[in-house]
Copies of this chain bind each other. A is one copy, B any other.
Amino acid sequence: MNSLTTYHSVAARLQSSIHSGELASGSKLPSERGICEQLGVSRVNARDALHFLEAQGLIYRLNRIGWFVSPAPFIYDPTQTHSLRDEARAQNRQLETELISANRTAAPAVIARKLELSATAAVLNVVRRRSVDGRWVLLESCYYREEDFPDLLSKDLTGSLNALVRDAYGFKKRRQDIGISSKPLNQTQAQQLQVREGSPALKLSRDLIVDGRCIVAETEHWLHDAIEMSIRGRTTAG
C-alpha cells in the first residue's frame, strides 16, 4: 500500500486543489513552508510531495522562485516541417522566440561526425529559446554546415529557420531523421529556461538530409510537462 504515507496525502491534497480549479493553471502554489504549516508536516514531506507532482507533469518550478501549476501541454508533430508559430496559432497559444546566440564555432565531436566534417572544422550554430504562453519551455540548438549556408548569420534568425533553409537556400528535396529521448537539462540549458539543473526534458534531435548528406543537425529540449508529440502515420499495405 501507499497513499497512507504523509507525502502521498500532501500530494493528493494539492492535486485535488489543482483539479478543482482552486489552484488555476499557471498560478503559484503556496510556499513550501506555507504548505508545512497548513498541513502540519515537515518540509521534507512537502518537498517530496512537490517532486512527486513535478514528475507527473502537474506542476513545475522556476528556479528559486516557486512552484506553479503546469498549463496543458503543447501538441506537436516533429515529423512535420510547419513553422511552430502556425502550430501555436492553431492551438490558440502564444509563442515567442528569442535568439540567444548565433556564432561560427568549432564543431562539437558529435556534430562534426553527423555533418561529415573534420574534427577541427567550423560550423554555424544558432541557439534560441521559445516560450508558450509566457513560459520558456523549449531550447533549440541548430548546427549548419558552413559551406552550404553562406551569410546565414546575417539573416533574420527569429523566424522559421525551416523556411529559411527551404526558401532562402533552396533545399526542398530532403529527408528528416528524428531521435527522441528523455534527458534532463544540464546547467547551461537549465539557466536559459530559468529552471533547475536536472529538470526533466524531452530531447528531440532532427537531422536534415539532402542528397544523402546531413547538412543541418538540430537539437530541441522541451520541458517534459510542456510537450506531447503526435505523429500521424501513413497508410501502408505492409
Contact = CB atoms under 8 A, between A and B. Distances in A.
Contacts of A2: 187, 197
B55 A177 contact: no
Contacts of A187: 2
**Interface size for chain A: under 10, 10 to 19, 20 to 34, or 35 or more residues?**
35 or more
Nearest to A236: B174
A233 B57 CA distance: 29
B237 A177 contact: no
A187 B52 CA distance: 13
Given A166-B238, A182-B182, 18 more contacts: A2-B197, A52-B198, A55-B184, A57-B182, A73-B181, A81-B238, A172-B237, A173-B237, A175-B232, A175-B236, A177-B233, A178-B231, A180-B180, A180-B202, A180-B228, A180-B231, A182-B202, A182-B225
